[in-house]
Amino acid sequence: MSLLAVTVLGHDRPGIVADTTAALARLGGNLEDSTMTLLRGHFAMLLLVQTAASVTDVERALQGLAADGALAVDVREVPDAGAPTTASTGAPYVLSVHGADRPGIVGGLTGVVAAAGGNVTDLSTRLTGDLYVLLAEVALPSGCDVVALEQRLRAAAEELGVDVWLRALDTDEL
C-alpha cells in the first residue's frame, strides 16, 4: 500500500468529486484526507489516497477527467511523514481577519503566527466586494504566550488596516 496525492484543478462543473472518488474507489483507494474548494469558478481538490494501485494505474483511471482539457490531474506518491509533528498538533486556534483588501494581509499575519512557532493547518480567504476575509486554523505550541501573540497580531493588523481575532478552538467543534 502506498499513499498518493491526487490533485484536480480546472474549470468547475458538476460531478468532478463524484467522478474522481468513484474511480479511486474502483481501484480500492481509501481517501484519508481531502480538501476541495471553488476559487472564482475554478475547482481545486487535493486528496490523499491509500491504495495498492500504482501511480500509473491511478493516472490511467483518472485520465477521462482531463480528456477535454478543462481539468488538470496530477498523481504522485507521498513519502511517509511519520507521526504528526508538534507544529501540526499544537493547541488549535482560529485566526479571523476582516478589512479592506490590499497586498500583504496573509503574509503579514501568518508571519506573526509563524514567528511564535505556530503552524497554519487550514486557511481560506474570500474577497467580497471591498471586504477581504481570512479564516485560518492554526496550531500553537505549548508554552506559547497567547496574550503576547494577540498583541503582535493586533499591531500587524493595524499596520495592514484590518481587524484580527484569535480564539481557542474547542476541539468538540472539529
Write the CATH number for 137: 3.30.70.260
Q: Structurally, how many domains does the chain consist of?
A: 2
pLDDT at site 20: 97
Within 10 angstroms of residue 29's Cβ, the number of other Cβ atoms is 22
Tens of pLDDT, residue by residue over 71-94, are: 999 999 998 776 555 455 689 999
Q: What is the pTM of this model?
A: 0.78
Q: Stretch 88-108: mean pLDDT, rounded?
A: 92
**C-alpha distances out from residue 62 to 25, 73, 77, Å:** 11, 7, 15
| Tens of pLDDT, residues 122-139 | 999 999 888 999 999 999
Which of 77, 100, 133 is at the close of a domain?
Answer: 77
121 and 103 housed in the same domain = yes
Find the mean pLDDT for residues 42-61: 96
φ, ψ dihedrals at 90, nearest 5° = -70, -175
Q: What is the pLDDT of residues 7-51, one digit of tens each?
A: 999 999 999 999 999 999 999 999 999 999 999 889 999 999 999
Share of residues in the chain with pLDDT > 70 (%): 93
Q: Could you list the residue range(s) of the whole structural domain that residue 121 is in?
A: 86-173
CA R_g for the chain: 19
Q: What is residue 90's predicted lDDT score, i.e. its pLDDT?
A: 85
Answer yes or no: do 8 and 56 share one domain.
Answer: yes
Check whether residue 99 and residue 149 sit in a common domain.
Answer: yes
Does residue 47 sit in the same domain as residue 121?
no
Helix axes 55-62, 16-26, angle to 10 degrees: 140
- Are 95 and 73 in the same domain? no
According to the model, what pLDDT value does residue 170 have?
80
Same domain? 8 vs 65: yes
- Asked if the model's pLDDT at residue 174 lies above 70, the reply is no
> Which domain-ending residue is among 57, 77, 97?
77
DSSP state of 83: S
Look at residues 77, 94, 122 and tell me which one is the last residue of a structural domain: 77
Quote the CA–CA distance of 144 and 135 in Å, as a whole number: 20
Cell numbers found for residue 117: 512557532
Examine the domain organization and report whether 63 and 18 are in the same domain.
yes
Q: Are residues 46 and 106 in the same domain?
A: no
Contact between residue 122 and residue 132 where contact means Cβ atoms under 8 Å apart: no
